[in-house]
Structure 1
Amino acid sequence: MTQPPVSVVVVSKGRPRSLRRTLTAVSQQAYPEFEIIVVTDDDGVDAVGFLEFGHQIKLVSFDEDNISTARNQGIAAAAGEIVAFIDDDAVPETGWLWHLTAPFSEAEVAAAGGYVRGRNGITFQWRARSVNSAAEYDDIAISGDKPVVMTPAKGRAIKTEGTNMAFRRDVIAEMGGFDPAFEFYLDETDVNMRLADQGAATAIVPLAEVHHGFFESARRTARRAPRDLAQNGASMAVFLRKHCREADRADVWSAYQRGQRKRLVDYMIKGELMPGDVARLMRGLRKGYAEGLERKITVLERIPRASDGFRAFERQVAGAEIIAGRQWRRAAIRREALASSRAGRIPSVFVFSRTGLFHRVTFHSEGYWEQVGGLFGRSDRAQRLFRITGFRKRLRQEQQRVARQRLLLDESETSAREGKA
């Protein structure tokens, strides 16, 4: 199979440190031909300049609070056949692009979306979902890890998540990209609905994994509690105007408000919000909805092809490496991983303590993956709470668990180093 050239678009605002981490992971993609496009503010531009590979990145300076317009700027700069999107608070597994683009070998596939893991690097935030004209989501049961191509039923769309999705450039550009009326929230869901109206097929790709951190922003705290819901309300109003029957909109909006209030109360119970915050945020939600009812919705124009051509990203990667050991050697193992990364390899670190602690997976901005946890603890949260196993057996199991997503080589081909037990 010929792998098409891909343009990876990262939109970033106000998170330069997180952006550098995202770009480090993107730069390690095991994919033959891709370019990186960053649409960002002045701080983001400076952050890219500090990266050793920053000169290879297409930079688009953009400082407006409109994620749809920013993504359209990325599409305008893209010269690949496929345009992939990832957020600036997320990192992709090494095989992300390889897996995400594979379904595009089928001519009818217009879009693809992968799975998203949460901040512990283990639990999934999103897998496969569909969405209807009320912006209500339903899980889709997918067994196995092979891509599944789906054409949605009338009135529904196959959902792709903004931090892990790809489109044929010709298709998304002809559609006019993302609707700027969605300044934040539901922008990609609107695209999904418009693709569904065309009868276009979307692929769900389980092995195309992204780790999403939900970093702090102007709209939410580091623990995901909302700070402002005005844009959510405005986008909901726009979405219902575009996709929901007028007779149903009032009921849908009422149900949405009830759901948002329940979510806020849950945060209050956990101590993340004060009682007064709930009322304030609900006022903002309703005010935003009223504003969204007045937003101008226009016919979107086709986005022209990039004028400066494809800028292939070139970085020599010397292969994957497994570095493993006991918890008491963690500092030394990290030094080994850092040296390995600087030598051009992509290290996967496994550090086990002699406990039943749950596992966590982290990508470090220095360029290596680290999994820590108890030798007898869960990685997959569906595993038994406690089990007896040996170090080497557990290492082999955890390496196999991520091998296909990360495109790790077989043990006989991988430089594996185990610290003294």
Structure 2
Amino acid sequence: MIPTFNRLPALREVIDALHRQEGPRFEVIVVNDGSSDGTSAWLDAQAAVSDAGGTGLRVLHQPNRGPAVARNRGVAAARGRWVAFLGDDTVPAAGWLAAHARAQEGELAREIRSAGGCVGVIGRTDWHPRMRRTPFLDYINEHGLQFGFALIEDQDNVPFNFFYTSNLSVDREAMAAEPFDPAFPFAAWEDVEAGYRLTAHGLRLLYRPAARVAHDHPTDLARFAQRQYRSGYCAVVFFRRHEQLGPFLGMQNGQPPLAGGAVERALLWAQERLARALQGMPFRLPRLWEKTMRHYYLEGLRNGWSDGAGLDQGGT
């Protein structure tokens, strides 16, 4: 199941890779979330070919309402026992589907379901080979700013905050019962928040790195800083639904931390300038990256709080 919005070149590669997958019989559901770049016409043409050849591509169109609504619509349309999620820029490697199937149909999954639980499987998301790898990109992929694969301690029992829809499979009925929350204004935290709710209802999350995808999403420090701002903003929505997670989301005593004074702001500005100047160099600067990205996250957190994010759609 793939939600898509204005990423036609990457989406073409994703769909092509799915047509080459081997494993159990499957359908591909793409929800076009109001794209304006030719995606609609291309998908309709591909679906017509699919209908003629019986290859199982189904296309749904909707006005732009965000990935949460798009995923929920895809789950509602799905017919399999479990549904696998991809991004429109995460290209599955050969064997991706088979690796998810082995995990979903294996002995551990059967034990989990027989005990009344449900099964989720995350695979490995790496940067696309065409991207220029830098220490910064490797760091955000491995150590928790974007993903956090190096932090996983037990591949058979992974915490809810690894519920990454870039490469995930989960029991369809469970996902339909705990859908993605459309109140999140950006594509940030809405997948992890759903994972948190599912965990409370018996989700066991497994990590199977053999299920690999290549993430084709050009990223540098400036772009990622804006992503962190949006993540902080959306964390307010998450908090208003689950206040017990305040410390995890960066809250202090139920509120965002206060902004620093002029000296702290000047220091942060200098740190960011240094981080940008060095981002293409072969240096690992984790403390500098963490401080810079945390500044943007907390700025988003404070602005989301002052804007009342989440209050008009079920928050407290």
**Distance verdict in 2 for CA 1:268–1:11, change over 3 Å:** same
Give the drift of 1:60: 1.2
Partner of 2:124, secondary structure, is strand
1:230–1:286 Cα contact (<8 Å) kept: no
**Distance verdict in 2 for CA 1:267–1:59, change over 3 Å:** farther
Aligned match of 1:350:
none
- 1:57 maps to 2:54: no
Count of equivalent residues: 266
Deviations 1:321-348 (A, max 9, x none): xxxxxxxxxxxxxxxxxxxxxxxxxxxx
Give the drift of 1:264: 5.4
Give the drift of 1:65: 4.3
1:13–1:63 Cα contact (<8 Å) kept: no
Select the structure with the greater relative contact order (CA < 8 A; seq sep ≥ 6). Answer: 2
Give the drift of 1:283: 5.9
Aligned match of 1:242:
241
**Distance verdict in 2 for CA 1:283–1:171, change over 3 Å:** closer
Give the drift of 1:240: 1.8
Which of 24, 29, 48 lines up with 2:43 in the alignment? 48
Aligned match of 1:171:
174
**Distance verdict in 2 for CA 1:226–1:61, change over 3 Å:** farther
Structure 2: how far apart are the matches of 1:231 and 1:127?
20
- AA of the residue aligned to 1:149: D
Give unpaired runs (5+ residues) of structure 1.
Answer: 1-8, 130-134, 143-147, 273-277, 300-421
1:11–1:39 Cα contact (<8 Å) kept: yes
Structure 2: how far apart are the matches of 1:28 and 1:124?
31
Aligned match of 1:23:
15
Query: TM-score, with normalisation over the residues of structure 2?
Result: 0.69
1:95–1:208 Cα contact (<8 Å) kept: yes
- 1:288 maps to 2:316: no
1:161–1:188 Cα contact (<8 Å) kept: yes
Partner of 2:98, secondary structure, is helix
Give the drift of 1:22: 1.1
Aligned match of 1:140:
152
- The CA RMSD measured in Å over matched residues stands at 4.0
Aligned match of 1:354:
none
Name the one with the larger strand percent.
1
Give the drift of 1:49: 3.7
Give the drift of 1:66: 1.8
Aligned match of 2:89:
89
**Distance verdict in 2 for CA 1:127–1:33, change over 3 Å:** farther
Aligned match of 2:283:
none
Give the drift of 1:21: 1.1
Give the drift of 1:198: 2.3
- 1:200 maps to 2:166: no
- AA of the residue aligned to 1:104: Q
Name the one with the larger helix percent.
2
Partner of 1:11, secondary structure, is strand
Structure 1: how far apart are the matches of 2:201 and 2:161?
12
Structure 2: how far apart are the matches of 1:16 and 1:229?
25
- AA of the residue aligned to 1:84: A
Partner of 1:84, secondary structure, is strand
Between the aligned residues of both structures, percent identity stands at 22
Give the drift of 1:203: 1.3
**Distance verdict in 2 for CA 1:124–1:209, change over 3 Å:** farther
Deviations 1:354-382 (A, max 9, x none): xxxxxxxxxxxxxxxxxxxxxxxxxxxxx
Indicate the structure (1 or 2) with the bigger Cα radius of gyration. Answer: 1
Aligned match of 1:187:
190
**Distance verdict in 2 for CA 1:228–1:193, change over 3 Å:** closer
1:96–1:208 Cα contact (<8 Å) kept: yes
Aligned match of 2:100:
100
Give the drift of 1:126: 4.7
1:82–1:168 Cα contact (<8 Å) kept: yes
**Distance verdict in 2 for CA 1:119–1:292, change over 3 Å:** farther
Give the drift of 1:97: 1.1
Query: TM-score, with normalisation over the residues of structure 1?
Result: 0.53
Deviations 1:87-115 (A, max 9, x none): 11110012111111222222324211011
